[in-house]
Structure 1
Amino acid sequence: MAGLNKDTPTPVALTVHSASRVLEVGFSDGKTFRIPFELMRVYSPSAEVQGHGPGQETLQTGKRDVNVVDIEQVGNYAVKPTFSDGHDTGLFTWEYLYFLGLQQDELWVDYDKRLHAAGVLRDDPMPEKAGSSCGHHH
């Protein structure tokens, strides 16, 4: 796990808005981001989503209504949200939250492109996992 860049702004306020499904993060540089839970879930830094190398990502769908039911701080560098679909293995570092907040418009566009390329819709249910999800190909 890479250490924090000393220049990375740190969160000074973190609010989970369950009704609007956004995580509001205020950073020490004065910026405040409202990061949708869906975006966090789709771009979760966990191995389950990112895979174990480039091209191994698992495209997440049907996450529009996902909620954050719990969020715990991990050391002084990250938070670990528990999502309503049971996903809880993503460690969101301050840098990553900042990146998600700053780049969210581009990330939505990228997500849209990936959905289109895979021929799936944003609200499609995730395919059921058969055993381990590592290494299978469509």
Structure 2
Amino acid sequence: MNQAPTKIDYQQSTALLRIEWPDGKQAELSAEFLRVHSPSAEVRGHGIGQETLQTGKKNVEISKIEATGRYAIKITFSDGHDTGLYDWGYLKKLCDEKDKYWQTYLEKLSKAKESRESKFIDITQLNS
């Protein structure tokens, strides 16, 4: 069984989730990073090769974090996504291999000719 973090703290102003582990390691994961690597079926699919590339999530934020038993957290994002449980093992792996996961994500975006930017237009800026 994987050990639970000793501290989880979300900084709204920077959209960073700070995590401290019993071994003393600390990590910061952006809301965008967590959203595009959600362990949900919507993102991962139901099997190998069924993953869905998440695009336009650069400005997503975390709206809510809930403990799920003693083994995971459930994160609700500002885009409404709220499925998938980040168990301690997966969360630790994301922390430990953040750079590799991020690089792979950026390569997939590039290959698909997609972007981290939202495709929605901010209509409040149209009449400026």
Structure 1 residue runs of 4 or more that deviate by more than 6 Å after TM superposition:
none
Match of 2:115 among 98, 103, 121: 121
How many angstroms does 1:77 deviate by? 0.3
For residue 67 of structure 2, give the secondary structure of its aligned residue in structure 1: strand
CA RMSD of aligned residues (A): 1.3
The TM-score, its normalising length taken from structure 1, stands at 0.83
The TM-score, its normalising length taken from structure 2, stands at 0.89
How many angstroms does 1:9 deviate by? 3.2
1:57 lines up with 2:51 in the alignment: yes
Distance 1:99 1:51 in 2: 19
Per-residue Cα deviation, 1:60-105 (whole angstroms, up to 9, x for no partner): 0111111111100000000001000000002001111111111111
Match of 1:47 among 17, 36, 41: 41
Contact between 1:23 and 1:36, CA under 8 Å: does it hold in 2? Answer: yes
Determine the structure 2 residue equivalent to 1:34: 28
Distance 1:79 1:55 in 2: 26
1:75 lines up with 2:80 in the alignment: no
Gaps of 5+ in 2: 121-128
Gaps of 5+ in 1: 127-138
Q: 75-84 or 94-103, which moves further after superposition?
A: 94-103
Contact between 2:58 and 2:118, CA under 8 Å: does it hold in 1? Answer: no
How many angstroms does 1:125 deviate by? 3.0
How many angstroms does 1:124 deviate by? 4.5
